[in-house]
């Protein structure tokens, strides 16, 4: 038997997220790098004019500490900011304020991935390459925006798990209100370290950058694992390097080979105070914990306890508009969870997504009041409307929010449950389709469905199908 090599994929992630604060990390310029005109949110501090002094943004510190709490990591008691020295046009000071020895958070876990650390630093400016003139333009609106960096342990072993972790982190940041974490906008940036080990020994790692979406990240990791495997099998060796992801070629490419590690000459910034967090009440874990909203994992558990299915749970957890709506609707007495989830997760979601696709913009709010939706659910439960009519009523309510009962009455959609009336209709249909009735008698089950369909049509969909089926069956016998 041929010897088959077993490869052990190892992936570790480094994720940056721009934090949502009113002002920048160390000055009071507005934190709005995406929509503002270039170089309008700048000041002497973030442009690094000599003699200026930075001030720590407490809101940014709190965001990172809350992330630490949510990850069940260890929050620092002592922390400081360090200068990371290097030279680049997007870094006006000639150093980046970051954290080295004393990150705000150590350890923690999310989606089965151990966290090494989470620290706070400042973003760089953005450079834009001008095709026409060949010049590089620099926009300092982003310089000094608070940036969180999270590093994972090298414990992920598939592209799919890496993707799940990154998506869950995005969701967590959004729940915490810490970041919009939109990857396409660069509010969340993922770097993936990938290696292929053998016999319990780590392989050489390659770092992949410029991943602009979760899909790109998953594909890049999968591609890289495959590339390294083929390289090793053809007798080559993996070199430690930084690679980029080429979206059009769907391949990684070499950007730069690592020649030893850069010496950033880290040292504590003498212009900023060292923080002893336990002496500062606003950073106390109990106070921060009190302000923590329900986290995605808590919410999942709450829905699991209601016996909802996992697909539906993910929908409600990931799209909080539907989650909040479901919560509001099911708070109303007499609404059953399983009927409500059925109409939220299937019908309502489809209607809303269709509208969003048509208008190419997302709706902030579900356009039907929870009271009206709840009333419709109750009507379905009481069988005063058929499920067919319920879908039509829902569509009508989305374009014009109104009392579903008033609407159903006006449109003749209230379900007929009067047995005499239903029998009358059934007899009429049986007279019209005598042969089909004979077919059913002869054992052709589908014939009954035809007769039911015809009866429902006669009633314009407003008949109780269960009752009708029973009546037809009894009349044919």
The footprint of ligand ADP (CB under 6 A) covers 10-14, 151-154, 193-195, 202, 205
Complex with ligand ADP: residue 195 or 415, whichever CB lies closer: 195
The residue count for the chain: 477
The residue nearest ligand ADP at its CB is 12
CA distance 195 to 203: 5
CA distance 25 to 15: 18
From its phi and psi, is residue 446 left (phi > 0), alpha (psi between -120 and 50) or beta?
Answer: alpha
CA distance 386 to 461: 7
Letter string b/e over residues 116-135, b meaning 16 or more CB atoms within 10 A of that residue's CB = bbbbbbbbbbbeeeeeeeee
What token pair was written down for 468?
């009708």
DSSP 338-367: HHHHHIIIIIIHHHHHHHHHHHTS--SS-S
Min separation Cβ 226 and ligand ADP, Å:
15
Q: Chain centroid to CA 438: how far?
A: 56
Min separation Cβ 81 and ligand ADP, Å:
19
Complex with ligand ADP: residue 154 or 465, whichever CB lies closer: 154
What token pair was written down for 230?
């083929």
Complex with ligand ADP: residue 27 or 169, whichever CB lies closer: 169
Tokens 């039509």 identify what position? Answer: 392
From its phi and psi, is residue 111 left (phi > 0), alpha (psi between -120 and 50) or beta?
Answer: left
Min separation Cβ 191 and ligand ADP, Å:
8
Complex with ligand ADP: residue 202 or 274, whichever CB lies closer: 202
Query: Do 286 and 292 contact (CB within 8 A), yes or no?
Result: no
Complex with ligand ADP: residue 221 or 352, whichever CB lies closer: 221
Complex with ligand ADP: residue 15 or 379, whichever CB lies closer: 15
Min separation Cβ 189 and ligand ADP, Å:
13
Min separation Cβ 99 and ligand ADP, Å:
14
Complex with ligand ADP: residue 160 or 449, whichever CB lies closer: 160
Min separation Cβ 390 and ligand ADP, Å:
50
Tokens 């052990």 identify what position? Answer: 8
Could you tell me which of 151, 95, 142, 103 has the C-alpha nearest to residue 123?
A: 142
Min separation Cβ 175 and ligand ADP, Å:
23
Min separation Cβ 203 and ligand ADP, Å:
6
CA distance 84 to 411: 70
Q: Terminal CA-to-CA distance of the chain, rounded, Å?
A: 69
Complex with ligand ADP: residue 31 or 152, whichever CB lies closer: 152
């Amino acid at each position: 038997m041929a010897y088959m090599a077993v490869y052990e994929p190892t992936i570790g992630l480094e994720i940056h997220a721009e934090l949502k604060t009113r002002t920048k990390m160390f000055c009071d310029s507005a934190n709005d790098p995406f929509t503002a005109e270039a170089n309008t949110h700048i000041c002497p501090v973030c442009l690094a004019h000599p003699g200026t002094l930075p001030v720590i943004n407490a809101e940014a510190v709190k965001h990172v500490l809350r992330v630490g709490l949510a990850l069940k990591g260890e929050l620092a008691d002592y922390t400081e900011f360090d200068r990371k020295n290097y030279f680049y046009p997007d870094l006006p000071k000639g150093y980046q304020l970051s954290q080295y020895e004393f990150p705000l958070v150590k350890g923690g876990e999310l989606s089965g991935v151990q966290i090494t650390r989470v620290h706070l630093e400042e973003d760089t400016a953005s450079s834009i390459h001008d095709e026409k003139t060949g010049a590089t333009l620099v926009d300092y609106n982003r310089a000094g925006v608070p940036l969180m960096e999270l590093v994972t342990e090298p414990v992920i072993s598939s592209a799919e798990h890496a993707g799940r972790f990154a998506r869950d982190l995005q969701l967590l940041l959004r729940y915490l209100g810490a970041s919009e974490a939109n990857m396409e906008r660069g509010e969340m940036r993922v770097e993936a370290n990938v290696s292929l080990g053998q016999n319990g020994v780590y392989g050489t790692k390659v770092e992949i950058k410029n991943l602009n979406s979760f899909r790109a990240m998953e594909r890049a990791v999968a591609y890289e694992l495959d590339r390294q495997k083929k390289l090793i099998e053809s007798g080559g060796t993996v070199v430690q390097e930084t690679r980029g992801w080429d979206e059009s070629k769907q391949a990684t490419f070499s950007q730069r080979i690592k020649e030893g590690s850069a010496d950033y000459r880290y040292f504590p910034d003498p212009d900023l105070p060292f923080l002893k967090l336990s002496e500062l009440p606003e950073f106390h874990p109990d106070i921060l914990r009190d302000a923590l909203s329900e986290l995605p994992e808590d919410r999942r558990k709450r829905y699991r306890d209601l016996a909802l299915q996992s697909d539906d749970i993910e929908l409600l957890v990931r799209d909080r508009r539907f989650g909040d709506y479901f919560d509001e609707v099911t708070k109303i007495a007499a609404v059953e969870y399983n009927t409500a989830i059925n109409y939220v997760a299937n019908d309502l979601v489809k209607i809303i997504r269709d509208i969003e696709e048509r208008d190419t913009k997302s709706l902030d709010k579900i356009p039907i009041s929870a009271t009206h939706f709840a009333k419709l659910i109750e009507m379905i439960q009481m069988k005063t409307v058929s499920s067919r009519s319920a879908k039509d009523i829902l569509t009508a309510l989305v374009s014009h929010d109104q009392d579903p009962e008033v609407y159903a009455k006006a449109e003749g959609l209230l379900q007929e449950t009067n047995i005499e009336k239903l029998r009358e209709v059934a007899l009429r249909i049986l007279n019209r389709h005598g042969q089909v009735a004979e077919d059913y008698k002869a054992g052709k089950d589908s014939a009954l469905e035809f007769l039911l369909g015809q009866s429902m049509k006669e009633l314009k969909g407003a008949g109780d199908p269960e009752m009708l089926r029973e009546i037809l069956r009894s009349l044919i016998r």
